[in-house]
Amino acid sequence: MKSSHDGFTKEKMVENSFSAGDLLSSRYDYDQSGNIQYIGYASPGSATGDSVWMIKKIEYDDQGRPSAILFAGGQSEFASAWDGRAHHTYS
């Protein structure tokens, strides 16, 4: 009987346990209710004013539950400035 780990080395399993977010710098901004409103990712050492951030905006329903995750410029690209997060168009 084969185990579910056949073909995987210990190193490969550890490597697969990391997500891209583990390798990037993260920034968070909160709304007036204390909910995360914006999350930004960029390469470590990136300036917040440089257009090298991927920024997500989280929308909430009337009960305070996350209802949508939108991206700056409508795309999941590293092309926005964190400092301008409130002024980007999200979709």
3-state secondary structure 19-38: CHHHHCEEEEEECCCCCEEE
Res. 59: pLDDT tops 50: yes
The chain-wide mean pLDDT, for the chain, equals: 85
β-strand partners of 71: 56
Task: Please tell me the total count of domains within the chain.
Answer: 1
Where do the H-state alpha helices sit in the chain? 10-16
Three-class SS state of 54: strand
The reported pLDDT for the residue numbered 7 is: 54
Domain residues for the domain of 39 are 24-87
**Per-residue model confidence (pLDDT) at position 21:** 61
The torsion angle over the Cα atoms of residues 16, 17, 19 and 25, rounded to 10 degrees, is -130
How do residues 16-55 score in pLDDT, each as one tens digit? 555 656 789 999 999 999 999 999 999 999 999 999 999 9
Domain presence at residue 13: no
Percent share of the chain, pLDDT over 90:
75
pLDDT at 33: 92
The answer to whether residue 18 sits within a structural domain is: no
Query: What is the residue type of 79?
Result: A
Q: Is residue 66 one of the residues assigned to a domain?
A: yes
Within-domain flag for 37: yes
